[in-house]
Amino acid sequence: MFMGEYHHNIDEKGRIIIPSKLRDDLGLNFIVTRGLDGCLFIYPKKEWDNVINKYKQLPDTKEKRHFMRIFLSGATVCEYDSHGRINIPKPLIEYANLKKDCIIIGVDEKLELWSKDSWEEFISLNEENLSDIADSLFNNNYA
């Protein structure tokens, strides 16, 4: 399970360091793709296969086709360079509006890569509703 928040910079060539404590769980080859809410998703290969298998089981609807086109067209297999960095393709950098300051967060089975500005906006818009969200999801049965 991935968790935590890590602050790193993306360089002018689109390279960003993946924290060493996350690399073992992520594996040597992993997938980066367009995520939801303006971030990128980073999946270990095994989890990516699980996600794709779930999508294959959905009925062939217009929504599924549209989602899969956007989700899969951005997907790329990545690996680390000798410095523990990955190279994010330009279309994905543009999609997530990644500038110098970035945030990597662990979200259970995947990582999410956010621009610092987008992440701060997301937190600002959602943190005061956190109790309501928890009540809705867990029916008051959370720690």
Question: Given this model, what pLDDT does residue 139 score?
Answer: 73
**Rounded mean pLDDT, 103-119:** 97
- Whether residue 39 is contained in a domain is answered as yes
| Number of domains forming the structure of the chain | 1
- Whether residue 121 is contained in a domain is answered as no
CATH label of the domain that carries residue 97? 3.40.1550.20
What one-character-per-residue DSSP string does the chain give?
Answer: -B--EEEEEB-TTSEEEPPHHHHHHH-SSEEEEE-STT-EEEEEHHHHHHHHHHHHTS---HHHHHHHHHHHHT-EEE---TTSEEE--HHHHHHTT--SEEEEEEEBTEEEEEEHHHHHHHHHHHGGGHHHHHHHHHTT---
- Whether residue 134 is contained in a domain is answered as no
**Rounded mean pLDDT, 20-26:** 92
Domain of residue 39: give its range: 5-116
Question: Given this model, what pLDDT does residue 140 score?
Answer: 58
pTM of the model: 0.90
**Rounded mean pLDDT, 95-111:** 96
**Rounded mean pLDDT, 1-29:** 94
61-83: per-residue pLDDT in tens? Answer: 999 999 999 999 999 999 999 99
